Amino acid sequence: MKKTASMLAIWISLASNVVLTAIKIFVGLTFQSQVLIADGIHNAGDVIASATAYSSMRVSSKPADVDHPYGHGKAEVLGAFIVAIILAGAAIYMGYHSIHALFEPAGAAHWIAFVAAVISLIWKQILYVYTMRIGRQLNSKGLIATAYDHLADVYASIAASVGIGLALIGEHFGYAILAYGDPVAGIIVSFLVLKLAYEMGRESFDILMERSVNLDQIEQYAALIRSVPEIKRIDRLRAREHGHYILVDARLAVRGTLTIQEGHDISRSIKQKIKAAHSDVDEVLVHLNPWYEE
C-alpha cells in the first residue's frame, strides 16, 4: 500500500512536469515570453529530477540481498542528492538568464503567457502539498525531494507571474520600466531555489555520511531499553538513517550468569519494543555484554 501511494505520487509528478514543460515552452515561443521559455527549460530539468526520484525509489523498495544486507534504502537519499544538484543548476541558470535580461530590451508581454504562469503556480502548489504529505507519511526521501522540487517551481512561477503581470501593467499605463520586474524577480527566486537546493543537498549528504539521528530520538530508544528490567547498563547506543528507515545499534550489559536463551529473549524483547514504538525503525542490532555485581 505504501509503495503504491509513493509510486502514484511520483508518476503524477513526472506526468505533470512533462505537460507543464510542453505548455511553457510552446506558449513562451509563441508569444516571445523569455521568462516562460526559461521556466519551461527549468521544468525540463524537473522531468529529469522526477525520473531520478522514481528510479531511486524503485531501487530503495527492493528487499535486502547478499550484496546489500542492510537493504537499498540509501538509493532514495542518493536520488535526493542528485535532485538537489539539478535544482542548484536550475537556480544558477535562472539567475544568469535574469541578470542577462536586465541588459536587453524588454519584450512585449501577453496575457496568455500570464495565464500559463498562473496555472503553473496553482498546479505546482497543489503538487507540492500532495507530494510532501505522502513523503512525510512514508518518510520517503525521494518523495520529499520531489516535493521540494515542486516548491522551487512555485517560486519560479511566482516570479514569472509577477514579471509578466508587471509588464502588462506597464504596457497598459505606459510605465516601460515595469517590464524589467520579471528579471529582478527572477534573480530573487534563483537565490531562494539555490538555498533550497543547498539545504536539501546537505541533509542528503549527512545521511550518506552516516550521520546519527537526533539526540531526542536516541533518548527515546534508551528509555525503551531501560524499561526492560534485565538491562543493567547501556554501554553504547547508536542509530542512523538508511533512506526511509532507521537502523539502531545497541551494546547493553546484562547479568553474566544469564543463559544464552535468556539473553536471546531479552534481545528480542528490546527489538520488539523499539520497532513497535517507532514504525520507521527497520532493524535493531543488540550486542549483550556481561555484568557482575562486584
Q: How far apart are CA 90 and CA 185, in angstroms?
A: 15
Q: Which of 5-14, 117-126, 190-199, 209-218 has the highest mean pLDDT?
A: 117-126
Amino acid at 139: N
pLDDT at 187: 79
Helices (H), the chain: 2-30, 34-60, 74-101, 111-138, 141-173, 181-208, 215-226, 260-277
Mean pLDDT of 235-252: 85
Mean pLDDT of the chain: 81
State yes or no: pLDDT of 20 exceeds 80: yes
**pLDDT by residue (tens digit) across 155-169?**
878 878 888 888 888
pLDDT at 243: 63
| Residue percentage of the chain with pLDDT more than 70 | 82
Mean pLDDT of 35-50: 71
pLDDT band at 266 (very low <50, low <70, confident <90, very high): very high
Torsion sign, CA atoms 171, 177, 183, 185:
negative
pLDDT at 2: 55
Query: Quick check: 190 and 95 in contact, CB under 8 A?
Result: yes
Higher pLDDT, 74 or 134: 134
> pTM (2 decimals)?
0.64
Torsion sign, CA atoms 237, 242, 243, 244:
negative
pLDDT at 208: 66
**pLDDT by residue (tens digit) across 96-155?**
877 887 787 766 667 888 888 899 899 999 999 999 998 888 877 778 878 888 888 888
Q: Are strands 246-255 and 281-291 parallel, antiparallel or unpaired?
A: parallel
Higher pLDDT, 54 or 287: 287
Residue 175, SS3?
coil
pLDDT at 287: 94
Query: Quick check: 200 and 145 in contact, CB under 8 A?
Result: yes
